[in-house]
Amino acid sequence: MSVTKGVKPHQQVQTLLDQVVARGLTVRGVVLDAGFDSGETLLLLQQRNLNYTVPIRKKGKGTNRRNECYTQPSGTITTMERVTEKTRQAVSTRVLVWERTGEGAARVYAFRGWGDATAVSEANRARLGRRRYRERFGIETSYRQKNQARGWTTRTDPEYRRLLEGVALLLRQVWVCLTLRIARAQRLAPSAWVAEFPLAEMLDWLTQRIRARYPRTRCITLPNKTLTTTATT
């Protein structure tokens, strides 16, 4: 999805959800980052009866309903009530306050669902929601790695830029498959890091191979003669 200037976070979420549904897929839960913690987004997810986990950011340094949650002890499950900034619609959501060992600061997660309320306790559903949020870091990592392989351009053509994104994701996935084969051959654990073959190494090998197969000749025409070099690096 191409995001244009002025599109609000909840509008982006609505568009993506509509695209998924239009393709015949069922969305049961949504995990978003803190940039989507607006009241409008929470209302949208509630109206669609979706499970969700969204971290809630602090707002300013004063006392408000967001910041009050951060004063609660880790493990607290409470209700946060607020209103949307422009339309002043009332928003209510359950939140979990959680501080991971060694972090030194708590985080607040808005959550809903993640299990049958009659069969699963709210505490377990809150922890499951937090676990679902942690799982999204695999997505964050893949996007950071994708940027290593993305071609650089100044063109604003969205189709061309989308092509570069697709190629970068494909290269990253090729690297994943290759490291998986190496890990299996070395009998490593599924979560082990294959230090011998970082993504940058594969990209460097590929770059060298392309340059060797398709050498580029640079020609500069001077008044009396032509200066020509063959680029090999």
At 5, list the tokens: 């200037």
With a CB cutoff of 8 Å and minimum separation 6, the contacts of 36 are 9, 10, 12, 13, 54
What pLDDT band is residue 137 in, cutting at 50, 70 and 90?
A: low
Q: What is the mean pLDDT of residues 170-187?
A: 90
With a CB cutoff of 8 Å and minimum separation 6, the contacts of 8 are 38, 40
The H or E element spanning position 124 is: helix 122-135
If we measure between CA atoms, which residue out of 14, 5, 25, 30 comes closest to residue 135? Answer: 30
For 2-53, what is each residue's pLDDT tens digit? 667 788 999 999 999 999 999 999 988 898 988 899 999 999 999 999 999 9
pLDDT at 116: 62
The answer to whether the pTM exceeds 0.85 is no
Neighbours of 48 (CB within 10 A): 14
Positive or negative, the CA dihedral 89, 28, 110, 137 is: negative
pLDDT at 121: 75
What pLDDT band is residue 120 in, cutting at 50, 70 and 90?
A: low
pLDDT at 221: 74
Residue 231 has pLDDT above 60, yes or no: no
With a CB cutoff of 8 Å and minimum separation 6, the contacts of 19 are 1
58-70 as b/e, with b when 16 or more CB fall inside 10 Å? eeeeeeeebbebe
CB-CB contact of 108 with 69 (8 Å): yes
Q: What is the mean pLDDT of residues 63-88?
A: 86
The angle at the Cα of 22, spanning 21 to 26, to the nearest 5 degrees, equals 25
CB-CB contact of 106 with 69 (8 Å): no
Domain ranges of the chain: 9-133, 139-231
Q: What is the mean pLDDT of residues 43-70?
A: 88
What pLDDT band is residue 117 in, cutting at 50, 70 and 90?
A: low
Average pLDDT for the chain: 84
The three-state secondary structure class of 28 is coil
pLDDT at 118: 55
Please provide the size of the chain in residues: 233
For 191-224, what is each residue's pLDDT tens digit? 788 888 899 999 999 999 998 998 877 777 777 7
Q: Which residue has the higher pLDDT, 42 or 135?
A: 42
Q: What is the mean pLDDT of residues 144-149?
A: 84
At 63, list the tokens: 């006392």
At 41, list the tokens: 């987004």
What pLDDT band is residue 225 in, cutting at 50, 70 and 90?
A: low
For the ranges 109-113, 115-119, 172-176, the lowest mean pLDDT is seen at 115-119
